[in-house]
Structure 1
Amino acid sequence: MGKIRAKRRAARSRPEPAGLPTTSPVKAIEETSESPESRSLPILHRLASHDVTERKWACTSLSHLLLDCAQRTELIQGRVVRRLTPLLLDEVMEIREAAAGALRNMSSVDEPGVLEYMASEDIMTHLSALVKDTVARLVTGMEEGKKEKMTADRGVLLSILEEALCLLWNMSEGSSVVVEVFNREELLPFILQLLQPTTHPLSLCLAAAQLLHVVTEDNQDAIRLVVSLPGTLSHLESVLDRTLPDDDCGRGQMLVLRVAIAGVFHNCLAALPEAVIESTLCGVLAVVASVLCVDTAPLLTGCQGDSETEELRLIFSAQELACEVLANVCYNEGDGSDGGEWADCDSVEDVEGADMMEASQMPVSRDLPSLKLIVEAQAHTKVCNLFLHLCSVFDTCPEPVIQRLTSLMSAALLTLQNLASSLPTDVWQDHMRTIWPTLFNLPSAYNDNTFPVLGLLLALVDKLDTSQLLTEEQLMKVCKVGVASGEVGVRADIMRLVGAAASSALRHTTPHLPMLQIAGSTLRDCVAKDPSLWVVSQALDSIFDMFGSDSCPPPLLHSLSLLPVLRQSSATFSARLRVERKGLGPHISMVQSAKVNLPRFISYMASKH
């Protein structure tokens, strides 16, 4: 539910597939009724053809076939990456571009194991050579008088680089091996040469900046180079200070470019001289805040049918990246580590378990003045306003826009969670009280998982007195989600949330009995019926807190018939633990604690009542 720093690299939204043209032979293949194997495998053999047209046709065909799951599986078995990668250095530049585009498409699919497979096929040897060669040609041109078989104009070189950088970006997001090779091949200076908005197209600069942002995350070799190479920091700062272009698409690209560079500065923050850290962080937060408050309402109003403008897509991408950078700023302030990678977690318990396991391995960095500067930049206010704006327009948008908004809303919720956990309560409580009712009435079209919402609710319940905020209707809605969810992590977190809400209600001199009845019956039913011992243990932990309180009304325990359920659970707990132990992972300590405390709690409650 939330995101944490972890050693394993995790993919964000990757660059989209390349829009390579579909040739008529590809259409002919797709229109046949043959099996995927008979369609795709002959194409692999044509990659080695001596005929230039046939090699190019094969690359273009594969760029489409690799997006299809069944055909991709067949192509992987045919060693498609091993056959494609030599064409990254083909003597014909157009074939280099087509091969890079096909591999980029393959790297963009959201399928476990694909990036690891691509890395294992030694793709980086040819890809590194392609980047170095193409940048050298673009920057310095071909040596005068040198006889070469291939010629290429600037446009083809730019296209090759854009495909190659997006491929490298995708690979770096999902594979630490690729980042290690990136360091070993010393690719970073070549990437920096492409960050020239006055010389190169913004689309190429954007791909270079986003790649640089990814490879400087938890990568001390890259960070040292960025900080130490003469003129690099001042050049990156000049990119941050550039004014936005007049054209719509260029303005959107520049927003993404600036926030990506801001992310690079944040990644490198701990390596900067002490004297410039605060001013650098001020610059990062200023960019983030300015991107978060970009008004998309006029563009959303102008959306026709199922269309989505390129400018709108770019603004959403910039705002999602800005949320990530801001969440990282909050995280660094709270954990005292030098950073790491974002990794999706199934629940708050995953976060806690990962923190405990990795705490001893993380070096301590200097304290950063993050929280004070976040407040000064009003970044917390702007992300709150962004979230409320998204909720207000969500259900009226066409489908392609809703897909973008879903990703952006999840990013905003995760950022709000980090802000709620990090900032002093008096700074943001008015904002969060405004957001509170919206969390229980999210747009019907928001179909992302419930972890981001639960994460924020848990952060708020931990910090706020929610007894005056949470209504019976809202608690019932939360409980129904917990009962109906097939996600173990969702159910566990809801049991924790229900327990926290009950504890908050009990702190008042006159506890609200209907609210406690709802919470108690939900926890009781979970203990009696949930198939996961982890979820049962979380419910028991909440029961211990709730009913162990002296302020808990005595009649409540009897009305719920809780003790018979607890005795039944205690009788089977040890047997269930033996069966489920291997699958409990980081939750084993909580389950073992529940096992020890359950008999004691039963004895305590029996003697008390």
Structure 2
Amino acid sequence: MGKSKTTKFKRPQFNSVGLPVTVVKEGDGEEEEHGDDSCPAAELLEKLQSPSADVREFACASISRVVQQSQTIPGFLQRDAVRRLGPMLLDRSLAVRETATGALRNLSACGGQEVCEDMVKHDIMTPLTALLREVRLHRCFSLTASLQLLPISSCYSNINESSSQALSVFNKSGLLDVVVQCLEKHPHNLELAISAAHCLHTVTEDNPELLCSMNTAVLGALENVLLSSQPGVTQTLLRTLAAGTLWNMKSSLPAARQAETVNAVVATLSQCLDLDAGMLIPELRQAEELRHRNAPAVSDIEGQAPEELAEEEMIEEEEAPKQKRNGKAAKVDNDFSDLLPRGKEELREATALLTAQQTSLEIIVNMCCSDGEWLNGLRCLCSFIENSLSHTVLKKTEFPKKETVNLCHQNPSWRGLIKKMERVQSRALTCLHSILSTMDAESLGGATALQEAAQHLSSMVFGAPEIPKDEEFLEAVISAMRSLLQMIASKNIPQCMTPQQLMSLSETATRCDVVSVRVNAVAILGITGSTLAKEKGTAETLQMIGNALLQVATKDPELVVNGEALDALFDVFADGEEAETAAKNISLLPALKALQPVFKTKIRKEGKGKYSPQQLCVLDNIRVNLRRFIGYLEKVLKK
């Protein structure tokens, strides 16, 4: 059915410090099971009506924490949580406002599209927009206001991601300026800037109405972030988000600056991917352990009680830029989070690194999906086709280092990074697929580079005692393998995978619930079979491939998979003596004759309600080609 087109990546939902929601769900290891009886929704929502600001603040903070366990969210929704939390955004107590926005942020992030739609339905945009406007009018970016804006911009982004109505409100409310002002605070308040950068990355994607209002001030703020030289992994995440936003804004860039900006974007992504997580994560974990070993007990710090020390840490930098710690001057860290505990700076850095690399890979995929002159410009402008970035992407497809995985597994707080590392690997494989689908063989290094890439993918899939069954990984690696084998076959380059390995992969894939995995698996069999059909002594292998494809064409429940299997059969048995011998031995002609009316009926009965017009067009072409192929076999096999 032809080469598959990669779907663009949409921005992930995130929390106040720029960490994807998956980190919230995975960060502390296995989630505890809680039934409906243990959900404290009714009691906490009732406390929102208390005349005491302290009680209202406690209720909001508790809701913020509880809804991170996604199974508790239905209990809150059933009790009208969104409508009852909305007024808290304009509460007379600033502390209540902050915790309420945090609760709504976590509810929108962990609840997904359903919750975001419920928020819009209950007009959460009115108090949320009013709160942002109030901050904007006062132009107040003290510590309190900054902390307040962290969850607000995150909440806005999560809702905008799921609601076109919310996006329209953002466009018309003039909130772009306040988000850019938050971004400009990056030298002094990194968390606020990252939250704003996530928001901009979300709202600028596929939003031509907003892009029309972009001005030089917005562009300048993004370029200042992109070109900043501040060290640190978290700054790398900030620059990556700015790069993604500038790519979203590409049509609004001044013509004279387009080439320079795209080059800077690609350079930023490449620098991010060059960082070695397998080396940095153990270093960060070691730094955390060393800090904990060297940290004196709280009671030893100048005799201060914990409450006094906590109060001191909240002193704003403007009022007290430095303070004494163990007799030494120390700069106060004003980057706080209501989601990650204090003392997790190294874990925050590790998470930021993996988030930045995942985001970079997703941006490159979107670049490869870009049409027209922008993609041509990208090909000509940057090291993308000079094999440096593609080589970096290939390196990211490697399995996470075993030592690093084991290190993370030993600590519950770090355990969530394992899934994050695996996701970076899967995104890299998807990115490799996009690059292979977009670039030509010469640009990627020629036959030698392609063979090396094929050997690399082969070792990933077949190096273990059994093929990995993780669906995300399998979907990514098999799509990359299809694109690579297609390119290798088109250049008549020898393949490095044996038919037995490919059959093993096909058997694993056909048991996968993901339709695209099964589609790509039969396509790989078709590519391999059509190559083997040109060689002598391959009839037995072609029989094996033909039988496998017939099984899929006949028994797979999905019509698109049936069609792909038939398409592959046409390729494998289209020509050659070996193919004719194999076709006779597996009784291909009678099998296809029996399948023909069944396939035609399935298109008529299942097609219109289930598949897109484009898919139906492809399936109808396969139906026509099946009739023609049967006619071809009738002539050839009568000889």
TM range (shorter): 0.7 to 0.9
Aligned residue in 2 for 1:564: 590
Between 88-97 and 214-223, the greater mean CA deviation after superposition: 214-223
Which shows bigger deviation, 518-527 or 441-450?
441-450
Confirm or deny: 8 A CA contact 1:289 1:377 kept in the other structure.
no
Question: Residue in 1 aligned with 2:416?
Answer: 400
The one-letter code sitting in structure 2 at the alignment partner of 1:454 is I
The C-alpha deviation readout for 1:544-572, integer Å capped at 9, x for no partner, is 22212246532101222222322221243
| Structure 1: runs of 5 or more not aligned | 20-29, 142-153, 246-250, 337-363
Query: Are 1:11 and 1:174, in contact at CA under 8 Å, matched by a contact in 2?
Result: no
Q: Aligned partners of 1:311, 1:126: CA distance in 2, in Å?
A: 33
Aligned positions of 1:327-342 closer than 5 A: 327-332=365-370, 335-336=371-372
1:35 maps onto 2:43 in alignment: no
The equivalent of 1:601 in structure 2 is 629
**1:486-531 per-position Cα deviation (integer Å, ceiling 9, x unaligned):** 333322222222112222333x453644442332121011123223
Who is 1:423 aligned against? 439
Contact (CA 8 Å) 1:195, 1:208: kept in 2 or not?
yes
Q: Does 1:518 align with 2:536?
A: no
- Could you tell me which amino acid in structure 1 is paired with residue 394 of structure 2? C
- Give the direction of change, closer, same or farther, for the CA distance of 1:432–1:85 in structure 2 (3 Å limit): farther
Q: Distance in 2 between matches of 1:190 and 1:261?
A: 16
1:27 maps to which residue?
Answer: none
Q: What's 2:236 paired with?
A: 255
For residues 17 and 326 of structure 1, the distance between their equivalents in structure 2, rounded to whole angstroms, comes to 19
Shift in alpha-carbon separation, 1:571–1:273, aligned structure 2, 3 A? closer
1:193 partnered with 2:148: no
CA distance in 2, matches of 1:391, 1:366: 34
Offset at residue 582 of structure 1 (A): 4.1
Counterparts of residues 298-309 of structure 1 (less than 5 Å)? 298-302=279-283, 303=285, 309=347
How far apart in 2 are the matches of 1:77 and 1:455? Answer: 41
Report 1:343-492 matches (<5 A).
368-373=377-382, 374-376=384-386, 378-388=388-398, 390=400, 396=406, 398=409, 399-428=415-444, 429=446, 430-440=448-458, 441-442=460-461, 444=468, 448-465=472-489, 467-492=494-519
What residue is the counterpart of 2:220 in the other structure? 234
Q: Deviations over 1:399-420 (max 9, x none)?
A: 4222111221121112111211
The residue that corresponds to 1:46 in the other structure is: 47
Q: One-letter code of the match for 2:496?
A: L
Contact 1:119-1:178 within 8 A present in 2 as well: yes
Q: Structure 1 stretch 416-425 or stretch 393-402: which is displaced more?
A: 393-402
Instruction: Report the counterpart of residue 344 of structure 1 in structure 2.
Output: none
CA contact (8 A) 1:527 1:536 kept: yes
Greater alpha carbon shift after TM alignment, 216-225 vs 73-82: 216-225
Shift of the 126–511 alpha-carbon distance from structure 1 to 2, 3 Å rule, reads farther
CA distance in 2, matches of 1:233, 1:33: 49
Q: Deviations over 1:356-411 (max 9, x none)?
A: xxxxxxxx879524454123582222222222374776765534222111221121
Q: In structure 2, what is the Cα distance between the partners aligned to 1:462 and 1:450?
A: 18
Match of 2:348 among 295, 310, 314: 310
Partner of 2:324: none
Distance 1:604 1:191 in 2: 64
SS in 2 for 1:309: helix
Q: Distance in 1 between matches of 2:242 and 2:11?
A: 19
Q: Which residue of 2 aligns with 1:151?
A: none
CA distance in 2, matches of 1:432, 1:309: 37
Q: CA deviation at 1:44?
A: 2.0
Q: Distance in 1 between matches of 2:106 and 2:250?
A: 33
In structure 2, the CA distance between the partners of 1:406 and 1:207, relative to structure 1 (3 Å rule), is same
Whether contact under 8 Å (2:278, 2:400) holds in the other structure is: no
Which secondary structure does the structure 2 equivalent of 1:167 belong to? Answer: helix
Residues 485, 524 of structure 2: 8 Å contact kept: yes
Paired letter, 1:218: D
Task: Give the residue type in structure 2 aligned to 1:43.
Answer: L
Q: Distance in 2 between matches of 1:276 and 1:32?
A: 54
Of 245, 270, 274, the residue aligned with 2:255 is 274
Residue number in structure 1 paired with 2:12: 12
Partner letter of residue 208 of structure 2?
Answer: Q
Identity %: 27
Deviation per CA, 1:55-84: give whole Å up to 9, x if none.
112212222332344432122122211110
Matched residues in 2 for 1:584 and 1:244: separation? Answer: 51
Question: SS at 2:7's partner residue?
Answer: strand
Contact map agreement 2:60 2:96 (CA 8 A) in 1: yes
Q: CA separation in 1, counterparts of 2:266 and 2:75? A: 47
Note the 1:82-93 alignment, pairs <5 A: 82-93=83-94
Q: Deviation string for 1:14-50 (max 9, x for gaps)?
A: 335899xxxxxxxxxx99998257x322432321222
Q: How do 1:78-227 and structure 2 match up within 5 A?
A: 78-109=79-110, 111-137=112-138, 139-140=139-140, 154-197=142-185, 200-226=188-214
Residue 351 of structure 1: aligned partner: none
- Match of 1:426, SS? coil
Q: Which runs of 5 or more residues in structure 2 are unaligned?
A: 23-31, 290-343, 410-414
Q: Please tell me the residue identity of whatever aligns with 2:177.
A: P
CA deviations over 1:221-256 (Å, ceiling 9, x no partner)? 332333x24x432332222222233xxxxx121001
Q: 1:375 to 1:563 in 2, by over 3 A?
A: closer
Equivalent-residue separation in structure 1 for 2:95 and 2:21 (angstroms): 14
CA distance in 2, matches of 1:32, 1:267: 41
In the aligned structure 2, how far is the partner of 1:34 from the partner of 1:488? 34
- Give the AA of the match of 2:432: L
Give the CA deviation at 1:164.
Answer: 0.9
With over 3 angstroms needed to count, the CA separation of the structure-2 counterparts of 1:500 and 1:13, relative to structure 1, is farther
Give the 3 Å change call, closer, same or farther, for CA 439–31 of structure 1 in structure 2. closer
Amino acid at match of 2:280: L
Cα distance in 1, alignment partners of residues 563 and 511 from structure 2: 18
Change (3 A) 1:121 1:4: same
State the 4+ residue runs in structure 1 displaced beyond 6 angstroms.
Answer: 30-34, 304-308, 391-394
CA distance in 1, matches of 2:132, 2:77: 24
For 1:239, the aligned partner's letter is: V
Residue pair 1:327, 1:418 contacting (<8 A) in 2 also: yes
In 2, the alpha carbon distance for the partners of 1:96 and 1:551 equals 77
TM-score normalised by L of structure 2? 0.78
1:544-563 alignment runs, 5 A limit: 544-550=570-576, 552-563=578-589
2:363 corresponds, among 317, 325, 332, to 325
Q: CA deviation at 1:182?
A: 0.6
Aligned-partner residue type, residue 100 of structure 2: A
Match for 1:494 among 507, 512, 521?
521
CA RMSD of aligned residues (A): 3.1
Per the normalisation by structure 1, the TM-score is 0.81
Query: How much does 1:270 deviate?
Result: 2.2
How far the C-alpha of 1:208 sits from its partner, in A, is 0.8
